[in-house]
Amino acid sequence: MKDMKFTILNGSPKGAESVTMQYVLYIKKRHPEHEYNIINIAQAIKKIENDEKRFEDIILQVKESDGVIWGFPLYVMLVCSQYKRFIELITERNAKAAFENKYTIVLSTSIHFYDHTAQNYMQSICDDLKMKYVGNYPADSWDLLYPKRRARWLLFVEEFINHIEHKYPTSKHYAPLKMRDFKYTPGKVIEVSEKFDTLGKKILVVSDETNENTNIGKMIKRFAESFSSEIEIINLYDIDVKGGCISCLQCGYDHKCSYIGKDGFFEFWEDVVMTADILVFAGVIKDRYLSSRWKMVLDRAFYMTHTPTLTGMQMGYLISGPVNQIPNLSQMFQAHIEIQDSNFVDIITDEFGTSEDIDALLHDFARKLVTFSKADYFKPITFLGEGGKKIFRDDIFGRNRFVFLADHEYYEKHGFYDSFPQNDERAKKMNEKLIPLMKIDKLRTKINMKQEFLRPFTKILEDPNK
């Protein structure tokens, strides 16, 4: 086996202190014959962005390597904003060619909360960069501490090395996005009688683009015109955010971020966003997600760690770009709202139909938001919210309680742990009674399970008062 040169693009804002990088150092220890060049991308993003030479050096190293390893911690269902910015720079600075045909793998560490969406995103980026994508490794943060799990990580990387050595083929999973060349032109003015009463509700649109010459700017304006009184519109570039989350985890103890007093993020999040009744996030698709500016805001909101902050709202999205070609992104949109205990209403885009169709959709979106808000309607959450919340609950109750004590207190106070199945008294009693009966063959074979399931429903349907 010839010695190889690997470029590792470190997506952790902690730089060398990253847990994820310990996985790379372990490979280095087991295969010291290769060269490992770890570049701290996320930690140094400002310098990389401001110093073109530094960016070009990184691209040169990618070009000269036999394989590229993307390694990153999960940040709010994706990579962190700093890493996302680097990915944007690759296209903005015409550096894609360096990645073409490079063998690559993607390593993430996390608690497995939406690691699949981050991995899907990275795989699509690798496909967009025309890389030879060998596979991903979605490790739990602590996997390396267990012998069997270390062994499988090693096997995975050895398979990667085999791929490069033997030039094995790799498959593609994501077709390039088809961008629609369409100029949205809002139609006739909405009559006063057609406008919706805001019913004293606070309606807020947060966007990274509000320029009225853009499709999204026009969509926001048209949407706002559907209401009888003014709504609030905030541009994310007008708020004072000094930088992305740096994962110091000071917030874990008391939900107090180390940026307090250094920028205006908290005033924005707590006084403006958290006080809305109806909240619409708007933006333009950038690669396979929203912009890194949007991601920075979502990452910074992590100072409230695993507690919901946007609760009880009617929420939705206004998007310019091919969101329906990126189901991974729609899934993140929906999951984010469900986990916050808010109601996911809709995503309105400019990707289909005429301007008139979009006008109608925007107007109806406004109607739905106020109608649902008035009726206090919350549709049932799906696996996206249900599964995600359970992962948080278990992790905060268990191994990560000492890190996130503020969450633990919140979870205790708000009954989050009551949902543990071992606390379900009704289920316990039912099982105690029924399991011994189920073990009697003669009885079990006589039971009509379909009818048994329907028995409580029949009671509801036959009761005239229910």
The Cα 61–Cα 67 span in angstroms is 10
Q: Residue 110, interface with ligand FMN (CB under 6 A)?
A: yes
The only residue of 6, 8, 58, 115 in contact with ligand FMN, by rule CB under 6 A: 115
Q: Residue 74, interface with ligand FMN (CB under 6 A)?
A: yes
Q: Nearer to ligand FMN by C-beta: 111 or 233?
A: 111
Nearer to ligand FMN, 4 or 74 (CB): 74
Which x/- pattern over 296-335 shows residues binding ligand FMN (rule: CB under 6 A)?
Answer: ---x--x---------------------------------
Q: Which is nearer to ligand FMN, 359 or 395 (CB)?
A: 395
Please list every residue from 11 through 30 that binds ligand FMN, using CB under 6 A.
Answer: 12, 14, 18-20
Total residues at the site for ligand FMN (CB under 6 A)? 22
Strands (E), 314-401: 314-320, 343-349
SS3 state of residue 247? coil
Task: Please tell me the distance from the alpha carbon of residue 225 to that of residue 187, in angstroms, as a whole number.
Answer: 12
Smallest separation, CB 58 to ligand FMN (Å): 19
**By the rule CB under 6 A, 359 interacts with ligand FMN:** no
Shortest distance (Å) from residue 86 CB to ligand FMN: 15
The H-assigned helical ranges of 194-241 are: 215-225
* Site stretch for ligand FMN (CB under 6 A), options 29-37, 74-82, 152-160, 369-377: 74-82
292 binds ligand FMN (CB under 6 A): no
CB under 8 Å to 458, separation ≥6 — which residues? Answer: none
Q: Site residues for ligand FMN, window 219-258 (CB under 6 A)?
A: 245, 247
Smallest gap, in angstroms, from Cβ of residue 19 to ligand FMN? Answer: 3
| Binds ligand FMN by CB under 6 A, chosen from 70, 86, 103, 113 | 113
Q: Which region, judged by CB under 6 A, interacts with ligand FMN, from 72-80, 158-166, 261-269, 431-439?
A: 72-80
Residue 72, SS3? strand
Q: Among 264, 268, 262, 236, which residue's Cα sits nearest to residue 250? A: 262
Structure-token pair, residue 303: 């100072």
Q: Which residue has the tokens 């009184």?
A: 229
Q: In terms of CB distance, is 218 or 336 closer to ligand FMN?
A: 336
Contact status: 285 vs ligand FMN (CB under 6 A): no
- Sheet containing strand 103-110, strands side by side: 35-40, 5-10, 67-73, 103-110, 132-140
Q: Could you tell me how many helices (H) and strands (E) the chain has, helices first?
A: 17, 10
d(CA 423, CA 367): 41
Q: Per rule CB under 6 A, is residue 76 in the interface with ligand FMN? A: yes
Query: How far is 407 from 393, CA to CA, in rounded Å?
Result: 9
Q: Residue 349 interacts with ligand FMN (CB under 6 A)?
A: no
Helices (H), 226-354: 251-254, 265-266, 292-300, 327-339
Q: Which residues lie near ligand FMN (CB under 6 A)?
A: 12, 14, 18-20, 73-77, 109-115, 141, 245, 247, 299, 302
